[in-house]
Every structure is written in structure tokens, then in C-alpha cells.
Amino acid sequence: ELKVEQNPLFLSMQEGKNYTIYCNYSTTSDRLYWYRQDPGKSLESLFVLLSNGAVKQEGRLMASLDTKARLSTLHITAAVHDLSATYFCAVEGYNTDKLIFGTGTRLQVFP
Amino acid sequence: DARVTQTPRHKVTEMGQEVTMRCQPILGHNTVFWYRQTMMQGLELLAYFRNRAPLDDSGMPKDRFSAEMPDATLATLKIQPSEPRDSAVYFCASGSSLKEQFFGPGTRLTVL
């Protein structure tokens, strides 16, 4: 059974600092997705990583995928308050349309 | 601007009442997913369809929940009878062969 773990679960960081959120998964998968959820809102797709070594960047966020290590990272550069949200990674299951979601990382950026 | 739409956005009902939630997937998408999100359990997959056929409903309490896709533009999730523990936000998402899922705004359900 595919399991997806994120850490940390909670992250409080100061504006301007850098940090990384980690997403580990338990079985082979070549595709991984990152979503953002603001409080009381829906999930918004951030990145789609489709192969080993894939790297995507959007503004202060950069996501990467290492399928051999079964690890994805979401790196935050020079955090700003607008990045405060919950971030989910999701892994595509084998031979299925389903995505298995991690528990989410709640990020709070303070001045 | 292609989006998944859901109705109603909010629903307050009393225990024992029937609740029906509706979802219109993005035109051209062939997979539809129903999720439930709570603080305690996080995001749970309830059921999903491909080309309107139900493929997996193992996450759904079958004695009270049912999911259908009467046509390609409408998916429904019904709870009968509803219970307080069903209080949650229910999301619908749709996807295509590319597997990326696009989420609707959700239905916030409160069962008193």
C-alpha cells in the first residue's frame, strides 16, 4: 500500500528565511504533485513532477523529484507572508488514477 | 476559464436528513473524484469515476453514502441518512489522462 509522509507537519518561519518541506513515499511512482490550500479554500495545483530529476520553479517555490530515493522537496526561498498556507504532496498510485495525498504541511510566515 | 463547480457551497441540515451534493467537472475531463476533508482525518478519497463508470468507492461508507454520474457533466454524492460525524468539507476534483486533478471549491456540510 502506497503511503505518503510529509514533514514537518507544521512550519513557522520568519519572512526572508529559506526552508524545505519533504515528501517521502513508500512505493515506486514516477509522478508527484504539489498542491496549496489556503484556509477555508480549495486545493490549488502548484507543480506536476513527471520524471526522476524533474525540477519546477514558480516564484519563491521550487519543487524537485528523486524517484530513486522516493523523495520530493518543496523549497521556499526568502519566504513572504503570502506563502502562508497548507502544502500537500500527492503521489500517483500504480496503475490507477488515484492520487495518494500526504498529511499536509501547514506553513506560517511571520514578519 | 475551465473550473470544477460544486453546489451547494454550504449546507446545514439535521441528523437523519438526506443530503445531495453536485459537481460539474471540467469539460473534457474523464475522471471525477470525491474527497472528504476534516481536521482529524485530513483528505480522504471517497470514490472515483472514469468515463462515468465507478472504479473505486472503497473509501465510502456504503450503508449511507452513494455516488453516481448520471451524465458526463454531473456527478452526485448523496448521504442518507446524514449523521453529525459526516460534517466535513466535500471536494470534487476532475482530471484527464494526464492525471493532474483540479479541485472544485467544496461543499461545507454541517449536520446538527
Q: What is the number of CB-based contacts under 8 A between chain A and chain B?
A: 42
Q: Would you say residue B109 lies in a domain?
A: no
The DSSP line for B80-111 is SS--GGG-EEEEEEEE-TT--EEE---EEEEE
Residues of A in contact with B92 (CB under 8 A): none
Do residue A99 and residue B101 have CB atoms under 8 angstroms apart? yes
CB atoms within 10 A of CB B36: 22
Q: Render pLDDT for B76-103 as a digit per residue (tens, 0 to 9).
A: 999 999 999 999 999 999 998 777 899 9
Residue B25 CA to residue B19 CA, distance in Å, equals 20
Percent of residues, chain B, with pLDDT higher than 70? 99
CATH of the domain at B55: 2.60.40.10
Residue B12 CA to residue B20 CA, distance in Å, equals 12
- Domains of chain A (ranges; CATH) run 4-110 (2.60.40.10)
Mean pLDDT value of segment B66-82: 96
Q: Return the pLDDT at A51.
A: 83
Residues of A in contact with B103 (CB under 8 A): 35, 42-44
Q: Would you say residue B46 lies in a domain?
A: yes
B112: pLDDT strictly greater than 70: yes
Q: What domain count does chain B have?
A: 1
Do residue A98 and residue B102 have CB atoms under 8 angstroms apart? no
Quick check: helix, strand or coil at residue B45?
strand
Q: Render pLDDT for A24-74 as a digit per residue (tens, 0 to 9).
A: 999 888 789 999 999 999 999 999 998 888 899 999 999 999 999 999 999
Q: Would you say residue B14 lies in a domain?
A: yes
Q: Would you say residue B80 lies in a domain?
A: yes
Q: Render pLDDT for A63-103 as a digit per residue (tens, 0 to 9).
A: 999 999 999 999 999 999 999 999 999 998 877 888 899 99
Question: What residues contact residue B45 under an 8 Å CB cut-off, 6+ apart?
Answer: A98, B33, B34, B35, B56, B59
* pLDDT classification of B1: cutoffs 50, 70, 90: low
Q: Would you say residue B112 lies in a domain?
A: no
Do residue A42 and residue B91 have CB atoms under 8 angstroms apart? yes
Residues of A in contact with B54 (CB under 8 A): none
B52: pLDDT strictly greater than 90: yes
Q: Return the pLDDT at A1.
A: 81
C-alpha cell at A48: 506536476
C-alpha cell at B22: 453536485
Which residues form the domain of B11?
A: 5-94
Q: Which residue of A has its CA nearest to B32?
A: A97
Residues of A in contact with B46 (CB under 8 A): none
Q: Render pLDDT for B25-39 as a digit per residue (tens, 0 to 9).
A: 999 999 999 999 999
Do residue A45 and residue B102 have CB atoms under 8 angstroms apart? yes
Q: Which of B48, B91, B103 sits opposite A97 (nearest CB)?
A: B48
Q: Would you say residue B13 lies in a domain?
A: yes
